[in-house]
Amino acid sequence: MDSTIFNRRTLLGSGALVGIGALLAACGQQASNEAAATATAAPSESASASAAASASATPSPVITRGYSGGSKAPDGEYRKADGYGPAQNVPKPRNEPAQYPENEEGLSHMMEDWLNAHNYAIQTGNCALVIQYVEKTSKEYPFYEYIEDLYKRGGWVVDGLDSYQVEGDLIYDDKQKIYRMKFRRFWSTVMYVDSDGEITKRANTDKNDDLFNYFFKYTEGYWKIIGSGTENNFKVA
């Protein structure tokens, strides 16, 4: 899976930038739009030209980050992210990786823990927990750096949560001294809202790269993700 999670989600990828009018309305900025509409009622030619020149020089509006759902959620009430703001009261994953046996069952438990930490990071920007499950050689690592930076800038992510299904046996590569297992990734849409008003929206319309190998190493009771790809041999990204 050459594009894997990071390349399909990064703002530097082919994700289409969409208009922000709907989001601004959702964030309670209808007033500015109404004011603009009033100002342009029955304009003269010179006024229209002046307004057009002014509009072309106007920088991207800044998104006001508020509460998802339009209000602060009561303690303990999970509320998913939307145009108003990031998710609230996201259930926390375990604080650190657990030791599991060196077999398929042990790997399955680790992947469940990693996925909980992964989806938590996407919804909160807190990647300190999830990076404990991955090596810097993996394509997931720079994705988490991007997510962390996005939230620090005042942005957030809408949707974008993942789930996985095992599609093959756990295989040990004696030459590389690592494991691999085939997975299918399930995701539908994701939207990245940046603080400068830019939005990147992606939809999973191409399923060809949803089936791929994850590569793992096992050291002193701990599983760790070291990479992913469509090839059976692990290659450093």
User: Which DSSP letter does residue 79 get?
Assistant: B
> Is-contact 213 228, C-beta < 8 A?
yes
Closest listed residue to residue 119, CA positions, set 135, 130, 128:
130
Residues 6 or more apart whose CB falls under 8 angstroms from that of 230 comprise: 1, 2, 209, 211, 212, 213
Cα dihedral value 217, 149, 193, 163, nearest 10 = 10
Q: Report the alpha-carbon distance of residue 10 to residue 7 in Å, rounded.
A: 6
Show the tokens assigned to 43. 């304009």
**Model pLDDT, residue 45:** 43
Stretches where the chain sits below pLDDT 50 are: 1-56
| Cα dihedral 70/71/73/74 (nearest 10) | -150
Phi, psi of 13, rounded to the nearest 5 degrees: -85, -155
- Phi, psi torsion values for 221, nearest 5 degrees: 95, 0
* In the chain, where the domains are located: 4-20+66-229, 28-57
DSSP string, 5-26: HHHHH-TTSSPEE---HHHHHH
What pLDDT is stored for residue 235 in this prediction?
A: 79
- The closest alpha carbon to 62, from 12, 16, 27, belongs to 27
Query: What is this structure's pTM?
Result: 0.75
Identify whether the C-beta of residue 131 lies closer than 8 Å to the C-beta of residue 144. Answer: yes
**What local confidence, expressed as pLDDT, does residue 117 receive?**
98
Q: Fold for domain 4-20+66-229?
A: Nuclear Transport Factor 2; Chain: A, (3.10.450)
At 85, list the tokens: 């703001």
CA–CA gap between residue 101 and residue 106 (Å, rounded): 5
Contact 202, 8 (CB under 8 A): yes
